[in-house]
Structure 1
Amino acid sequence: MARVLIIDDDPGMCDTLYRMIRLEGHEGKYVQTLREGLSECLFRSYDLVLLDVMMPDGSGLDLLPKINKISSPPQVIIMTAAGSPDGAEIAIASGAWDYLQKPFSFTELKLQIVRALQYRDEKMQNKPVVPSLRLEGIVGRSPEMMQCMNLIGQAATTDANVLIIGATGTGKELFARAIHESGPLAGKNFVVVDCGALPDSLVESILFGHEKGAFTGAEREAEGLIRQADGGTLFLDEIGELPLSVQKSFLRVIQERSFRPVGGRKEVRSNFRLIAATNRNLGELTKSGGFREDLLFRLRAIVMELPPLKGRTGDILDLLMHYMRSICDRFGLGLKGFSPEFLEALLVYHWPGNVREFIHSLESSLAAAREAPTLYRLHLPAPIRVHMAVASFQRREVVSEQSIDEPAQPFEQESLREVIRKSEGRYLKSLMMSTQGNISEACRISGLSRTRLYENLRKHGLQRNGMQNPESETRSRDILSSIHN
């Protein structure tokens, strides 16, 4: 017997679907808002969700990604009376099992329910063996990052082509190396090709190599990058910048794993694993004629989308703790503490350059602080401080112009204070574990007095070794139990 959740604002549809689910021998429940639906998915385990799109508090398509971030997420079937090709594309790309247009045949719906539950049952019973992942330089525990790490494990067990999509600075090469090092090709050649930096006149020579005398200046035979990747991985960074003339030749290389060097007469074989990356929308690029559609089809056997750093507050603290230690070691500095204002600035800044900008900003801050034991907001690079000052002024200006009798719009996310409180708890836990409970060392790094440090540890229910106090943990469970019951 499976557990099925129905999320639809039509009482008649809810009742009909509920009765059908019960007749099929499953346990069912229905709710009539997205908020209730998300709450149900977070606090109870479901195998299948029947999700309407047009809901009173938003679009069901916006809820779908949130459901898929849950540990062991249910399968989701989208139902809508206002279907569109764009909506179907978004739903399937976001992981929906199917996209059904109302009114639909209940026979069809029953069949899709059976198939979805059968797939989930097989998936839960036959979980693949996850290889030991080598994630050097990859930091973060947010749902978005965990999803990417799961894809690393999936890609590492196959030789399928991988396409990594992400904005500048999100770490596309790091993830490509992680796939390479976590699979059977670990230790073999990992050849990087920066497609955006290839000179137009030498692209084919650099990729395919050339024979002596193939063109003016070719005084000796040269082995191309594709040949160097034989037995290993070829990583094409920013593949959207590859000239169209070369895309056609490279398509054949992917299909046949063979090519002819410039000026050569014989075919040369190269058996390589292909990983490509881009910060561009290749789908849109194909429509404008800037990228070959058949090449795109070949590239995206496995697609990994890297999340931007903006909004990943938990990951920002993890990145800070990780790179603070490594950069201080590299600079020959002692491990530093940081003020609450410094952390707040990192949490609220929008990071257009993503993790790369974060690392460079931390390097700049540590260089500015030199021997000072604590990082303050003043140590941050000037562009970040200017941006925050301007943003703060604009916020005050908006508040001052707001009508007194105008009701404030509810903000559904966590407050900044709550985010900082959680971050403080994680920081203290990491601090005490890294210092092995040495209070003097923890005070030196954090810049806190002993009294203040002990107060903060008690506030977050932590012991000197960074573990949660058992009494605090029991108390938290009792509170949660009373809430849920």
Structure 2
Amino acid sequence: MSVGRILVVDDDAAIRTVVREALRRDGHVVETAASVAEQRRKMTEFQPQVLVTDVILPDGNGLDLVPEMLADHPRMPVIVLSAQNTLATAVRATEQGAFEYLPKPFDLGELSRAVADALTARGAGLDDLADAGSGEDLPLIGRSPPMQEVYRTIARVVANDLTVLVLGESGTGKELVARAIHDMGSRANKPFVAINMAAIPRELIESELFGHERGAFTGAAMRTAGRFEQAQGGTLFLDEIGDMPFEAQTRLLRVLQTGEFNPVGSARSIRTDVRIIAATHKDLQKLIADNAFREDLYYRLNVVPVRLPSLRQRTEDIGELALHFLEKAAADGLPRKRLERAAIERLSRHSWPGNVRELENLMRRLAALSREEWITVSIVDQQLSGDMVASEGGAPAIASGGGLADAVEHHVARYFATFGRDLPPDGLFERILAEVERPLLKLTLAAVKGNQLKAAKLLGINRNTLRKKLTERGIDPSDVRRMG
């Protein structure tokens, strides 16, 4: 590993000490500074090869100083640390010319690798990153570590035309990522055109993508431009690419290879200039193994993968998202509502099979149906339990009557209602089973005061099966015993 002179700038003495000692263990020579003024002095005295700086400093902003530092020291990579963990910060760091952006709290191993990469890049002369576009009015929300990784990937690709493949469950915001990449890139003033492969009949896919000439097929009364022509100069977003028919995949691959296409029914070639962003909730590797997706097309699309976390993997973002969706609902004319802290905690414990889309739909329903200004934990609990129905006055009420089968049917219906025309993510049986088994196991154990032998007998399963299910469902028998 390359070693060098590293200057660490942070107003937190503990962070300066920890980072300094970690980098020294890697063999680097390290100096520290607590302010902009001290940083400027150390830059002259120490002549660092890599600068590691915080954003918020007592006498200035570390991001604002990056262009100045690079102007005076053009071969010095700058690594930015920030507790302001938003996409705007990540993009702005890239805009200012930072080599790397690490959100706080950061992993020391990750910082060590970033410093090593910076020294290598400095030696190769790769110390300048291009403009990443505007960072205003960004659509992505959340400060969790999984989202930080998404922001960093986006920040790296907005300044170029590399093909991006966005992967994630339905409802995680794949189109928002595609729009963010387009809106912050050099093609922002050109068209953004989206096409959902799962929503178009397979016999019309090629016509939709490449257009058709008059008379090309029955009903083709006039020449029609396809999505490639409509997106000329801009970005074409191919949503649900995993649902694209195999024969259409072949034509798409040819376009990606040659940069040209022929409208249906025409021998005329059209040169295309579009950036391709594709997305899917399906496992493309499995589709390849099943001969349902072309492996060569997969590698053409998967140049830069962006993996979106499920909402279950970023529960710390739920409060911020919920409040944002309530504000958005109010901006759309729905009553303005406020959310109790206990209600946010209840939202954070939910499994969210529909991800961010399900959360947004829930917030809009609560804004529309809740009579009170404050949304309480009991109202949220009723909604998440599938018990809220609209009363005559439009306020939420508890549904009465019906047995377990009715309750389960109502709950499963919510999964499908959440996605509208789409289907929920694969694995619905296991998710429903887990949601039914968990309370059954907990209540049974509580009824027998934690005695697993009695619980197994009562449930009609053997004790080993009970233990396995408790482990699978994350149930601690000692906690249940205390509850009982």
Shift of 1:392: 4.9
Q: Within 5 Å, which residues of 2 pair with 1:353-372? A: 353-370=354-371, 372=372
**Alignment partner of 1:247: what SS?**
helix
**Alignment partner of 2:312: what SS?**
coil
| 1:76-116 deviations in Å (ceiling 9; x for gaps) | 99xxxxxxxxxxxxxxxxxx99xxxxxxxxxxxxxxxx987
Q: Is the 8 A contact 1:134 1:181 kept in 2?
A: no
**Alignment partner of 1:71: what SS?**
coil
CA distance in 1, matches of 2:338, 2:213: 58
Shift of 1:155: 1.2
Q: Is the 8 A contact 1:361 1:381 kept in 2?
A: no
CA distance in 2, matches of 1:360, 1:23: 50
Query: Do residues 165 (structure 1) and 177 (structure 2) align?
Result: no
Query: Do residues 215 (structure 1) and 250 (structure 2) align?
Result: no
Match for 2:198 among 191, 196, 202? 196
User: Which residue does the alignment assign to 1:380?
Assistant: 380
User: Which residue does the alignment assign to 2:58?
Assistant: none
Q: Which stretch shows the higher mean deviation, 381-390 or 153-162? A: 381-390
User: Which residue does the alignment assign to 1:281?
Assistant: 283
CA distance in 2, matches of 1:68, 1:284: 34
CA distance in 2, matches of 1:75, 1:23: 14
CA distance in 1, matches of 2:25, 2:352: 52
Segments of 5+ residues of structure 1 without an aligned counterpart are 4-21, 28-46, 48-66, 78-95, 98-113, 413-485
The residue type paired with residue 226 of structure 2 is G
Change (3 A) 1:390 1:342: farther
Q: Is the 8 A contact 1:244 1:290 kept in 2?
A: yes
| 1:296-315 deviations in Å (ceiling 9; x for gaps) | 11001110000000142321
**Alignment partner of 1:222: what SS?**
coil
Shift of 1:187: 2.2
TM-score (norm 1): 0.58
TM-score (norm 2): 0.58
| 1:121-157 deviations in Å (ceiling 9; x for gaps) | 7699937356243563311011111111111111101
CA distance in 1, matches of 2:26, 2:341: 56
CA distance in 2, matches of 1:185, 1:149: 19
| 1:245-299 deviations in Å (ceiling 9; x for gaps) | 0101110111111111111011111110000000011112111101000001100
The residue type paired with residue 296 of structure 2 is D
Q: Is the 8 A contact 2:334 2:367 kept in 1?
A: no
Q: Is the 8 A contact 1:247 1:292 kept in 2?
A: yes
CA distance in 1, matches of 2:125, 2:345: 41
User: Which residue does the alignment assign to 1:182?
Assistant: 184
**Alignment partner of 1:331: what SS?**
coil
Residue correspondences, number: 318
Change (3 A) 1:167 1:332: closer
Query: Do residues 71 (structure 1) and 106 (structure 2) align?
Result: yes
CA distance in 2, matches of 1:281, 1:128: 33
| 1:135-185 deviations in Å (ceiling 9; x for gaps) | 633110111111111111111011010000010000000000000000000
**Alignment partner of 1:286: what SS?**
helix
The residue type paired with residue 379 of structure 1 is I
| 1:17-36 deviations in Å (ceiling 9; x for gaps) | xxxxx999679xxxxxxxxx
The residue type paired with residue 245 of structure 2 is P
CA distance in 1, matches of 2:353, 2:25: 52
Q: Is the 8 A contact 2:178 2:277 kept in 1?
A: yes
Q: Is the 8 A contact 1:338 1:376 kept in 2?
A: yes
User: Which residue does the alignment assign to 2:248?
Assistant: 246
CA distance in 1, matches of 2:126, 2:276: 31
Please report the RMSD computed on the Cα atoms of aligned residues, expressed in angstroms: 3.9
User: Which residue does the alignment assign to 2:304?
Assistant: 302
User: Which residue does the alignment assign to 2:129?
Assistant: 128
CA distance in 1, matches of 2:26, 2:104: 28
Segments of 5+ residues of structure 2 without an aligned counterpart are 5-23, 30-78, 80-101, 387-410, 412-434, 454-466, 475-484
Query: Do residues 140 (structure 1) and 175 (structure 2) align?
Result: no
Q: Is the 8 A contact 2:198 2:240 kept in 1?
A: yes
User: Which residue does the alignment assign to 1:458?
Assistant: none
Q: Is the 8 A contact 1:257 1:271 kept in 2?
A: yes
User: Which residue does the alignment assign to 1:346?
Assistant: 347
Q: Is the 8 A contact 1:247 1:295 kept in 2?
A: yes
Q: Is the 8 A contact 1:233 1:275 kept in 2?
A: yes
CA distance in 2, matches of 1:379, 1:389: 21
The residue type paired with residue 375 of structure 1 is I
CA distance in 1, matches of 2:3, 2:285: 38
The residue type paired with residue 74 of structure 1 is G
Shift of 1:328: 2.1
Change (3 A) 1:363 1:381: farther
**Alignment partner of 2:311: what SS?**
coil
User: Which residue does the alignment assign to 2:329?
Assistant: 327
Change (3 A) 1:254 1:385: same
CA distance in 1, matches of 2:221, 2:304: 41
CA distance in 2, matches of 1:126, 1:137: 29
CA distance in 1, matches of 2:139, 2:28: 45
